[in-house]
């Protein structure tokens, strides 16, 4: 039976300092995050230093294929010396590879991810404001929610899905590859031009995604070089006997909330189906890396992909097949594993978005980023009588992702909101009630002075005279409001809390 699909996303943001040529991205990212955690919104009332991240559980070099990684596969480094803070909504906000990065708290469904992703945008906007006070006059830190500088450098928006450890990894690879290659038709954020060597803008004036061209392998441990479509990092951040966390690096960061809902929602369903053994037909794509690039380059959405058995199918046909099987799975198994209401919404929108892409993509410009951006670009070209080589189109492509409300083009593009901004504003400081992030967030809100460090699956408390106490949180669906809300409300001190928890 499918286990609850606990999900979250981590976004590395693009960063620039305007008004000076003398700046460095690591210092700017640190200044940005420190300014936020020291501010009124992001700060903890009675502390000056942010709660530190606890690295004891970080093992990004462990490979899910149950064998030692070959020498050439460089495990990612854990940068323990850089700014790293835990927020009261349960999120992690830190500097990673010269980018500010925010990981949402663990969420129980895709709708909750959309809420915390919107909250993350608000946190970055507040951070830019807080940083302005710390910079010399005339300088400004600007944040972009994108995945590439269009010059060959990419940075990620990763998704994480809680999977049953019993699922053979080979099956995960097949299912994931087919979905990741073909879901690009609605997850792409759009990019002007190509970053592949030798490719001209005449050949590829515009493409669906920012990330596709940065993938060179089918499966692997890498995340920064020779990126694989399926990443094998085996770091469950939970009970490693029961769970796997699938770390997905193959998607774009989305400005369109509906694209985020569909990206996370369809992927959660696709893996829940695998756990339920629900596939009557496994579609395998031949040469997935080539197919990933081809789908991104094909604005007509009509190019056939060759399958392993010699048949051909377009990305849309494969998505229709997955949707049809998902509907039949939902009828037989229900949607509890992906959240009832959320699952129902995702299945409806999945069908509508495929219909729209098939009949008239412009009809879903309010849901899909590459379509929304394409509409702005072609409108701009008509109005100013210019072509794809015009610098203004490349500027428009970048500025679509600018998070400053005064400059963001995505904010002006008529994208439909899936969650209300009032709710997202609350989610900036409040954790989700239905995962262990609730316990982490509430402890930070109430007992910040006694929390020494925290990470995904534990919190370390200082209870005064006694040794430090580590409270493990190996079950992502425990530590919810239902489980510990009353205990947290009643406890006046950390000692009392730990006594009541029996920890």
Active site residues: 96
Least distance between another protein and beta carbon 458 (Å): 24
Any idea what DSSP says for residue 254? -
Least separation in angstroms between CB 500 and another protein: 40
Between 70 and 310, CB nearer to another protein: 310
Q: How far is the CB of 97 from another protein (least distance, A)?
A: 4
Closest CA to 9 of 114, 82, 80: 114
Q: E-strand spans in 297-450? A: 305-306, 312-313
Shortest distance, position 402 Cβ to another protein, whole Å: 9
Residue of 478, 468, 472 lying closest to 456 (CA atoms): 472
The tokens describing 434, both together, are 């239905």
CA dihedral over 195, 199, 201, 205, signed as positive or negative: negative
What is the distance between the alpha carbons of residues 214 and 152, in angstroms, rounded to a whole number? 8
Phi, psi of 237 (to 5 degrees): 50, 35
What tokens does 415 get? Answer: 């994208």
CA distance 107 to 216: 30
Closest distance to another protein from the beta carbon of 28 (Å): 11
Q: What three-state secondary structure class fits 9?
A: strand
- Identify each DSSP E strand in 232-289 by its residue range: 243-248
| Strand-pair category, 451-455 with 52-53 | parallel
Separation between Cα atoms, residue 177 and residue 251, nearest integer Å: 12
Closer residue to another protein, CB minimum distance, 169 or 400: 400
């Amino acid at each position: 039976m499918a286990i609850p699909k606990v999900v979250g996303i981590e976004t590395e943001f693009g960063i620039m300092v305007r008004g000076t040529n003398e700046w460095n991205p690591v210092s700017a990212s640190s200044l940005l995050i420190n300014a936020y955690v020291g501010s009124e919104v992001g700060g903890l009332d009675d502390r000056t230093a942010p709660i530190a991240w606890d690295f004891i559980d970080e093992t990004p070099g462990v490979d899910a294929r149950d064998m030692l990684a070959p020498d050439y596969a460089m495990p990612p480094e854990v940068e323990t010396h850089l700014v790293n803070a835990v927020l009261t909504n349960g999120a992690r906000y830190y500097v990673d590879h010269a980018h500010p990065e925010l990981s949402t708290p663990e969420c129980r469904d895709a709708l909750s991810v959309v809420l915390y992703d919107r909250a993350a945008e608000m946190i970055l906007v507040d951070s830019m404001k807080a940083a302005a006070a710390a910079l010399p006059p005339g300088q400004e830190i600007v944040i972009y929610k994108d995945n590439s500088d269009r010059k060959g450098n990419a940075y990620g928006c990763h998704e994480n899905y809680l999977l049953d450890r019993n699922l053979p990894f080979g099956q995960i690879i097949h299912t994931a590859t087919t979905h990741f290659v073909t879901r690009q038709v609605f997850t792409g954020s759009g990019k002007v031009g190509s970053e592949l060597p030798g490719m001209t803008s005449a050949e590829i004036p515009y493409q669906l995604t920012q990330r596709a061209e940065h993938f060179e392998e089918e499966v692997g441990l890498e995340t920064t070089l020779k990126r694989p479509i399926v990443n094998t990092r085996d770091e469950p951040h939970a009970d490693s006997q029961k769970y796997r966390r699938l770390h997905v690096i193959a998607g774009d960061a989305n400005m369109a909330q509906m694209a985020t809902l569909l990206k996370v929602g369809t992927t959660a369903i696709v893996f829940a189906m695998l756990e339920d053994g629900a596939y009557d037909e496994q579609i395998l794509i031949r040469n997935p890396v080539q197919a990933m690039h081809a789908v991104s380059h094909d604005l007509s959405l009509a190019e056939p992909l060759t399958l392993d058995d010699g048949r051909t199918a377009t990305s849309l046909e494969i998505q229709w097949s997955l949707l049809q099987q998902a509907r039949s799975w939902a009828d037989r198994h229900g949607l509890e594993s992906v959240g009832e209401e959320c699952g129902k919404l995702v299945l409806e929108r999945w069908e509508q978005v495929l219909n729209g892409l098939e009949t008239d993509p412009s009809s879903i410009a309010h849901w899909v980023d590459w379509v929304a951006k394409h509409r702005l670009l072609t409108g701009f070209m008509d109005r100013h009588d210019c072509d794809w080589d015009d610098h203004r189109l490349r500027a428009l492509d970048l500025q679509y992702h600018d998070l400053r409300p005064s400059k963001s083009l995505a904010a002006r593009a008529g994208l439909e909101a899936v969650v209300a901004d009032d709710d997202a504003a609350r989610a900036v400081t409040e954790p989700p009630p239905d995962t262990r992030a609730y316990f982490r967030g509430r402890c930070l809100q109430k007992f910040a002075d006694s929390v020494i460090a925290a990470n995904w699956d534990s919190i370390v408390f200082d209870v005064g005279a006694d040794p430090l106490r580590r409270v493990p949180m190996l079950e992502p669906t425990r530590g919810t409001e239902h489980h510990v809300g009353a205990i947290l409300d009643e406890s006046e001190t950390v000692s009392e809390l730990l006594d009541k928890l029996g920890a």
